[in-house]
Amino acid sequence: MKYTFFLFLVLMISLLSCKKGEEVEPTDDNELITTVELGFTNSKGVTKTFAFQDLDANSLTPPDKFESILLEANESYDMDIKVYDDSKPTRVDVTKKIEDDAEAHLFVFKVTPASLFSVKAKDKDKNNLPLGLKNSGKTQGKGSGKLHVILKHQPPANGKRTKTGDEDLGSTDIDLEFKLEVK
């Protein structure tokens, strides 16, 4: 009996004497995005929309839709992005959530070849860093290539902002490479 009491006492002292480590605030989760729509409005006011859709959100199965982008040469465009979660019976507009949480999101655009289409974010978060839901761009001469669209999720960690405009930080919500043709 004394031995059991002694073990209990040692265990309690050990537990009570442990220092708590620095607590880490939980971060918000990545968005579930099944549909991405890129809307291109040219200088004449004509809008064309190109979409990616993967309803099962499984990267191991082919997407339900992955349209190629077709733009006119030597044309200016406004490019708007809309994102949705269509995995539920009622479509969830994730665009608004990203807009409301702009300080934790960054769209990154990479065009190959770079001379095919230049794109720049027009919208900014409250810290004057780019968001990328609303963009402007210009095509050059004719050609084909790729438009890589990446959405980085960069939530605060331990109460400190992590978004700096650097694409290397955070996790990835979207990583899509659209075929791009300029005629």
What lies within 8 Å, CB to CB, of 130 at 6+ separation is 106, 107, 121, 123, 124, 165
Give the per-residue pLDDT at 31.
74
Q: Give the residue numbers spanning the domain of 161.
A: 25-182
pTM: 0.82
The count of structural domains within the chain is 1
Residue 54 lies in a domain: yes
What CATH number has the domain bearing residue 80?
2.60.40
Q: Is residue 75 part of a domain?
A: yes
Looking at residue 28, its pLDDT comes to 54
Q: 84, 140, 82, 130: which is closest to 109 by C-alpha?
A: 130
Residue 4 in domain: no
Residue 7 belongs to some domain of the structure: no
pLDDT in tens, the chain (183 residues): 554 444 444 445 544 444 444 443 434 567 799 999 999 999 999 999 999 999 998 888 999 999 999 999 999 999 999 999 999 899 999 999 999 999 999 999 999 999 999 999 999 999 999 999 999 999 998 999 999 999 999 998 888 889 988 888 899 999 999 999 999
Asked if the structure places residue 68 within a domain, the reply is yes
Question: Does 135 map to a domain?
Answer: yes
- Position 67 scores a pLDDT of 98
Start-to-end C-alpha separation, the chain:
88
CA neighbor of 97 nearest in space, from 176, 31, 182, 166: 31
Classify residue 35: in a domain, yes or no.
yes
